[in-house]
Amino acid sequence: MTPMSLRPSRYREAGFSMVELLIVLMFIAIIAAIAMSSAFRAFDTSRLGRTVANMRTASDAILKYQTDTSTLPAGGLQPVSAIESVVRPSGGRIPLKDGWDHDLYYEPYTTAQGLLTFRLYSYGKDGASDGVVTGSWADFFTDTVMEGGSFIQTRW
């Protein structure tokens, strides 16, 4: 035997095994996935808050127009941009988009009691209409609906 083989190995390779590295990477991936999920939910909550604020501002302009003229802008379901020039307050600005950068929609609406009012719609994260107003809100894809200045379908 050589003298080198009789000595205890002081030159053992330093570092981590492949299994140890994979376990650490797996934990990092799980923590990152949880953090990303929370971040995306926070972004959507922020966008919904911006949508609610934009809808309130547009609704206030329409209500002011209704007070000044005793009527509502004509037409059926249409983007708020189609009525902006009619209802825009002097020197003011009406938001035309929701928090996801989709158009806000306006519609004159007659209530069950026969009163003429209006509805504003944000079609949510997907930008597609749900087709019916249920009065309940499920997630960020659900339409946010305002009727006559009051929310009838929203998270808040």
- The per-residue pLDDT for 8 is 58
| Cβ proximity of 136 and 83 under 8 Å | no
Dihedral sign from CA coordinates of 52, 53, 58, 63: positive
User: How many angstroms separate the CA atoms of 65 and 96, rounded?
Assistant: 16
User: How many angstroms separate the CA atoms of 114 and 38, rounded?
Assistant: 45
User: How many angstroms separate the CA atoms of 85 and 73, rounded?
Assistant: 10
Give the global pTM: 0.79
Catalogue all structural domains in the chain, each as residue range(s) with its CATH number. Answer: 17-153 (3.30.700)
| Cβ proximity of 97 and 123 under 8 Å | no
- The per-residue pLDDT for 6 is 57
- The per-residue pLDDT for 152 is 94
For residue 96, with 0-12 CB atoms within 10 Å meaning exposed, 13-18 middle and 19 or more buried, which class applies? middle
- The per-residue pLDDT for 92 is 76
- The per-residue pLDDT for 77 is 95
- The per-residue pLDDT for 1 is 55
Per-residue pLDDT of the chain (156 residues; tens, 9 = 90+): 555 555 555 556 678 889 999 999 999 999 999 999 889 889 999 999 999 999 999 999 999 999 999 999 998 999 999 999 899 876 578 999 999 999 999 999 998 899 999 999 999 999 999 988 888 888 999 999 999 999 999 887
- The per-residue pLDDT for 83 is 94
